[in-house]
Structures are given as C-alpha cells and as structure tokens.
Amino acid sequence: QVLLVESGGGLVQTGASVRLSCAASGFHFNMYDMAWFRQAPGKEREFVAAISWSGTQTKYADSVKDRFTISRDNAGNTLYLQMNSLKPEDTSVYYCAADRHVHRIMPSTAIGDFNSWGQGTQVTVSP
C-alpha cells in the first residue's frame, strides 16, 4: 500500500524559509518521479515542482523558480521541498505525489500523471 506523509508546514512570515518533507513507503520509491503540488482555498490544485526518479532532472512552476528547490533521498525514501523567500501568495496546502509510471524520460508536470497523494501539509505565509 502506497503511503505518502508530508510534514514541515506551519505559519511563517514573508521572506522566511521552510522545508517540507514527504516520507514514502509501500512502493519502490527510487523508480518513480515525484512532485509537489499545492492548493489554495477556492483554487485548483497546481503544479509546484517535480523531480526525476534518479534525482538528476527537476522542473518548477514559474511562480516558484529560483525560490524553491525540490530534492530526494532515495536511500531514505524521502522527498523534500526547500522553500525560500516565501510570499503570502505561497499560502496553500502542499501535497507530495508519486507518478503512475516508472522511469519516465523526463518529469511530468501534469496532475493526471500522478496517482498517489499524501494528505497535505498547510503552509501559511503572513504579510
């Protein structure tokens, strides 16, 4: 049974940094691309960042590029999202997700390509 558990969210001020973690179990973590998505109240879930199964390729939404860094520890079955220079518009519930296919050539940014999701962790950035 696939299990993804996010942690690390909280209430921070504008300009602060936060690191989210996602502990994965129940599947061969090192074979699947992983991603972070986020969803603000009243909005659709949106792509934030993705990383290849090997950790060598990454993709970012334009809104977070140069501020957020996605990484993974395949030995520890953990996905990370380092978020720097946080803005109020980054306030959302952040979800980690696992791709439905193994060993993609390039990480996907399409929500439909991810079929396993964590429960989410709230990040609130105060002005």
CA–CA gap between residue 42 and residue 39 (Å, rounded)? 8
- Return phi, psi of residue 101, to 5°: -115, 150
3-class secondary structure, 112: helix
Q: Return the amino acid letter for 116.
A: S
Q: What is the percentage of the chain residues whose pLDDT exceeds 70?
A: 100
Distance CA 3, CA 117 (A): 8
Write the pLDDT tens digit of every residue in 66-122: 999 999 999 999 999 999 999 999 999 999 999 998 888 899 999 999 999 999 999
Average of pLDDT values for 16-21?
Answer: 98
Query: Are 54 and 73 within 8 A, CB to CB?
Result: no
Residue 102's H or E segment, with its range, is strand 92-102
